[in-house]
Amino acid sequence: MTPTESTDVVVIGSGFGGSIPAYRLAAGGARVVILERGPWLTGADFDHDLKFGSASTRVFEFTMGDGMNVLGGNCVGGGSVVYFAAMPRAPRFTFERQGLLGRPLWPRSVTRDVLDPWYDMVAESLPITRSEWEDVTYSGGLFAAACAHAGRTANPVPTAVDPARCTNCNWMMSGCRFDAKRSLLLNYIPAAVSHGARVRPLHEVQHIAPTGDGGYRVHYNTVDEVDYRVVTGTGTIDARIVIVAAGAAATPVILQRSQEALGGIPEAVGRHFSGNGERLNTAVIDEAKARDVLGLDRGDGVAYEGYQVGKGPVCASWDRLDPDLPEFSRHSLEQLYFPPGFGTILAQVRDATGPSWFGVEKKEMLRRWRSWLTIFIMSEDGNEGVFGPPPETGNADRIAQQMLSRGALRYRPSEQTRAGWARADADIRDILERDGLARVMPWTDEVIGAYTVHPLASCRIGDDPATSALDDRHELRGHPGIFVTDGSAVPAGLTVNPAFTIAALAERAVPGIVQAALDRGVPVRYVDAPPRSAPEPRPTTPAVA
């Protein structure tokens, strides 16, 4: 145990929700410490390798739950390092959703119009660019052509990818070797560091306690850089402001574990979790049909065989993002690449005579992997997730050295959520099975239950204290000075990739956090300048308190 140190602001987690306020508060003059449970990797560390122990297992956490499994980041930069950088704004109607609660899920003060200037700020900072058809990969192009064939529209998706640097290697999910993906490692984080923020990797926060003078003491463990199960030390930091942004699968767990020390937490902490209504379908494309029906040719007589090529999702169907459709029947469909391993095990054989997800027929399906096309559904779920009691440390019990853990999240999809998935599955079949173009099946939900790469809403903003742990300024009800700015705060599924909205909400929260800091005697001002977009070398040795 090292002596308690003191700072103005402690930020827990370094993804979008953490790094954005960290930069702005540091730029405004506050002393900021960022505690990140994962390692700090940059450019060359992002090896193209599927071996256990490579970046592909170091930067992830796959937390298995009871009926819901969450794949998230576990590194400096958080979700921005592992995401596919698809950055659409949330459609206007999502801000009017009522879900299963039967009352507005979003605070009245947040609408698309309100959020648009904050979206603009993020778009300038990362930056995000509108994609053109020339940027759309074979798999995106195939999906677009299939949509057109079905009488549907399809859009290139705005992304935070620099097309001039991108090699279309499709390894981006375990970090970008070429610095083409504009993760937070290239903008907000180096800018925060240049303004004096200190980033501490391998620091896993356990709980928060009041100090008695209006501030908070943050308790953390340090963990081994290879075996994250091994605790190498403990420590504490006192701060006037605490920003919890550990991700929607961890933020509520830290607060739950803090319940006794804080003298209670809002009822809604760890409830109303949303998996963003996510679900995947995998199609196996008939190459001859892709050529004859869709007229596709890569220039060498091959119609497609392009699953491995590209940069994640680049093309989406937004036809069902229709404000006139009733809730639970709206969704977007996005073409997606998922690397082998996670991206194959749950895929099912269409009309299998034996087991659908393993065995002889599955092997035959895997042999056609180059002709796969994965379609990502983002729909309107019913916020059915609830976190059980927290584990001893961290957000989950770690099983493997890296990447694999078991947590306390329980999720039972409602009839409405299931019906929404079924409608989206049917929508995909309608597009892709026309004229024998492909054979499509949803991933099985019988093996591990539902899954998400975009956990949301486990510590929501809202107007109703009974169902939202945070007020519309992202402050934890009853605990002034504690803010939550990550995906936990997003009130509900968005029907699109949420990173841009999480980031915009974090930007929107910063002026309120600055005011709270001022009220607590921290000399800080609000700075609206974009971060410099240049990589900053990381320290050669992780700074340990």
121, 184, 193, 496: which one binds another protein (CB under 8 A): 496
Interface with another protein in residues 217-256 (CB under 8 A):
none
Segment holding 484, helix H or strand E: strand 482-484
49, 260, 519, 528: which one binds another protein (CB under 8 A): 49
**Sole window of 395-403, 417-425, 478-486, 533-541 interacting with another protein (rule: CB under 8 A):** 395-403
Using CB under 8 A as the binding rule, whether residue 301 contacts another protein is answered as no
Whole-number minimum distance, CB 132 to another protein, in Å? Answer: 9
74, 402, 417, 488: which one binds another protein (CB under 8 A): 402
7, 206, 281, 332: which one binds another protein (CB under 8 A): 332
Using CB under 8 A as the binding rule, whether residue 419 contacts another protein is answered as no
Instruction: State how far Cα 129 lies from the chain centre.
Output: 19
Using CB under 8 A as the binding rule, whether residue 477 contacts another protein is answered as no
Using CB under 8 A as the binding rule, whether residue 170 contacts another protein is answered as yes
Segment holding 117, helix H or strand E: helix 112-125
SS3 379: strand
Q: Count Cβ atoms below 10 Å from residue 436 Cβ, excluding itself.
A: 11
Using CB under 8 A as the binding rule, whether residue 404 contacts another protein is answered as yes
Q: How far is CA 37 from CA 13, 58, 60, 481, in A?
A: 7, 11, 11, 22
**Which residue type sits at 298?**
R
CA gap 467, 436 in Å, rounded: 47
Report yes or no: 348 and 283 within 8 Å, Cβ to Cβ: no
Whole-number minimum distance, CB 152 to another protein, in Å? Answer: 7
Using CB under 8 A as the binding rule, whether residue 401 contacts another protein is answered as yes
Segment holding 260, helix H or strand E: helix 259-262
- Burial class of residue 105, CB neighbours in 10 A (0-12, 13-18, 19+): buried
Buried/exposed 461-477: b ≥16 CB within 10 Å, e otherwise: bbbeeebbbbbbbbbbb
360, 422, 426, 543: which one binds another protein (CB under 8 A): 360
Site string for another protein, 424-463 (x = CB under 8 A): ----------------------xxx---------------
**Sole window of 194-202, 241-249, 355-363, 474-482 interacting with another protein (rule: CB under 8 A):** 355-363
| Residues in Cβ contact with 324 at an 8 Å cutoff, skipping those fewer than 6 apart | none
Using CB under 8 A as the binding rule, whether residue 352 contacts another protein is answered as no
Whole-number minimum distance, CB 91 to another protein, in Å? Answer: 4
103, 111, 148, 521: which one binds another protein (CB under 8 A): 148
Using CB under 8 A as the binding rule, whether residue 72 contacts another protein is answered as no
**Sole window of 365-373, 422-430, 481-489, 537-545 interacting with another protein (rule: CB under 8 A):** 365-373
Task: Determine the length of the chain.
Answer: 545
Site string for another protein, 113-132 (x = CB under 8 A): ----------x------xx-
Using CB under 8 A as the binding rule, whether residue 400 contacts another protein is answered as yes
Whole-number minimum distance, CB 126 to another protein, in Å? Answer: 13
Whole-number minimum distance, CB 475 to another protein, in Å? Answer: 29
First to last CA, the chain: 10
| Residues in Cβ contact with 117 at an 8 Å cutoff, skipping those fewer than 6 apart | none
CA gap 385, 458 in Å, rounded: 8
Using CB under 8 A as the binding rule, whether residue 408 contacts another protein is answered as no
Using CB under 8 A as the binding rule, whether residue 299 contacts another protein is answered as yes
Using CB under 8 A as the binding rule, whether residue 331 contacts another protein is answered as no
Using CB under 8 A as the binding rule, whether residue 306 contacts another protein is answered as yes
Whole-number minimum distance, CB 47 to another protein, in Å? Answer: 8
198, 291, 350, 370: which one binds another protein (CB under 8 A): 370
Using CB under 8 A as the binding rule, whether residue 291 contacts another protein is answered as no
Residues 479, 480, 486, 488, CA torsion sign? positive
Q: How far is CA 423 from CA 91, 262, 276, 427, 428, in A?
A: 19, 44, 16, 6, 9
How is 10-55 classified by DSSP, letter by letter?
Answer: EEE--SHHHHHHHHHHHHTT--EEEE-SS----GGGS-S--STTSH
Tell me how many residues contact another protein (CB under 8 A): 82
Using CB under 8 A as the binding rule, whether residue 171 contacts another protein is answered as yes
Whole-number minimum distance, CB 87 to another protein, in Å? Answer: 9
CA gap 28, 518 in Å, rounded: 11
319, 380, 472, 486: which one binds another protein (CB under 8 A): 319
**Sole window of 141-149, 207-215, 236-244, 419-427 interacting with another protein (rule: CB under 8 A):** 141-149
- CB closer to another protein, 291 vs 473: 291
